[in-house]
Amino acid sequence: MENDKRWIRQIKNNGSKEAANNLVAKYYKEMYAFMYKQTLNQELSLDLTQEIFISVLKSIQSYDSKKASFRTWLYKLASNRLVDYFRSKSYKDTQLVQPIEDYDFEDEHDMTISLEYKDDIERATALINELDASSQQIVRLKLFGDYTFQEIAEIETIPQSTVKTKYYAALKKIRKGMEKVHND
């Protein structure tokens, strides 16, 4: 935490490349994992993670440590970037199909489970993308960022009760959507 503050101060005051590299290095794997859990696409996750850190470094002058921790601010930017991506024309036009030859399966049972899991993740992601932006942020931060309701309330600057209400309402919609797919 103290290192974060020092690095941010160095970046803000004199554009220190070393401080910027240290800050990015500290959070890169965490942000990549956050992206990958939601996209299940290595290249896309790398691209989105890179875009997040470019955005962070461009907008670091507007970061205010009195309003939120750097990590919290970073997750907010990452969540916003994901919402933007899933709303984008490129996402809607992209066919997220991986050739079966790219999978390495031990046996037919493993292949079936892996394909069903991937289908479920893609369907859940599609259902999350249908939620309003605020609900998307809450679900992403809770499920993929492992934030508590209190932390999400602070990030979103809304009451914790509202966060819980939106989260559980979103989960209900996602469950209904998943059940509909499995019953069809």
Cα–Cα distance for residue pair 42/96, rounded to 1 Å: 12
Residues 59-91 pLDDT 10s: 999 998 888 889 888 988 998 888 888 777 565
Structural domains in the chain, CATH included, are 1-93 (1.10.1740.10), 109-184 (1.10.10.10)
Judge if pTM exceeds 0.75.
Answer: no
The span from the CA of 144 to the CA of 128, in Å, is 12
Mean pLDDT in residue range 84-99: 60
